[in-house]
Amino acid sequence: MTPEHHDAAWQRIGAAGAVTLHAACRACVEDLDAEFGGATVVTTGELRVLACATDERARAVEDAQLVTGEGPCTDAYIHRRPVEADLHQAGERWPAFTPTACETGARRVLALPLAIGNLLIGAVDLYRSTPVPFTAEHKDRAAAYARILALLALDEHPHLIAAHARPAHRGPQGYPPTVHMAAGILAAKNNLTPDDALARLRAHSFRHNQPLLRTAEHVLDHHRLD
């Protein structure tokens, strides 16, 4: 990333009007010839929160990562480095996530960690509907946007700056409070362990191709999955 890329990214974001996380994500997607994208932040306690999504496709793909506990966003965050893949060839890498992502029309993905110095706060995903790889120039510009997105995410979620260092790993620890509350209801009602109840929630969402939060809200309202 060069100062020129950084300045150009700020100019594109500013041209959109209000300088917000969503505006920056949208500018990044348009500048890098992607179709849609989203950013996720990881708050204290390893709770993943969708910080922004450019459209419903982005929401669906980001939620699929939440449901399955795998995907480019997760890997970029865990390994603290960019991740690029052709989703039609990533079935072994992300066996649960890939089919859902491909259903949205996503084909190529570039994910980058959101970090400022040693502070790692999440990741951003950029999706294309074609298999065309991102060029080295695109990746340099994406790195500039990722830094800006991290700054804007901290502005919108200031508590992240005080978060302690956290071990980065996959799995159920990444779910919002609503999901854990729903899992608790299922666990109590069906004599399940919390992990088994959470697995049942995820399986139901995956089987019915619906967002995990929607499944959780249904359980909170009706105390059952169906």
172 pLDDT tier (thresholds 50, 70, 90) = very low
**Domain ranges (residues) in the chain:** 3-162, 176-222
- Say what the pLDDT of residue 170 is: 47
- Say what the pLDDT of residue 27 is: 95
pTM of the model: 0.78
Q: What is the pLDDT of residues 47-63, one digit of tens each?
A: 577 889 999 999 989 88
SS (H, E, C) the chain: CCHHHHHHHHHHHHHCCCCCHHHHHHHHHHHCCCCEEEEEEEECCCEEEEEEECCHHHHHHHHHHHHHCCCHHHHHHHHCCCEEEEHHHCCCCCCCHHHHHHHCCCCEEEEEEEEECCEEEEEEEEEECCCCCCCHHHHHHHHHHHHHHHHHHHHHCHHHHHCCCCCCCCCHHHCCHHHHHHHHHHHHHHCCCHHHHHHHHHHHHHHHCCCHHHHHHHHHHHCCCC
Average pLDDT over residues 185-200: 86
Average pLDDT, the chain: 86
Question: Is the per-residue pLDDT at 139 higher than 60?
Answer: yes
- Say what the pLDDT of residue 66 is: 79
The CATH architecture assigned to 176-222 reads: Orthogonal Bundle (1.10)
More confident residue, 217 or 29: 29
Q: What is the pLDDT of residues 196-225, one digit of tens each?
A: 888 888 888 877 877 777 888 889 888 888
11 pLDDT tier (thresholds 50, 70, 90) = very high
User: Are the C-beta atoms of residues 153 and 160 closer than 8 Å to each other?
Assistant: yes
Question: Is the per-residue pLDDT at 156 higher than 60?
Answer: yes
164 pLDDT tier (thresholds 50, 70, 90) = very low
The CATH architecture assigned to 3-162 reads: 2-Layer Sandwich (3.30)
Q: Which two tokens stand for residue 178?
A: 């609503």
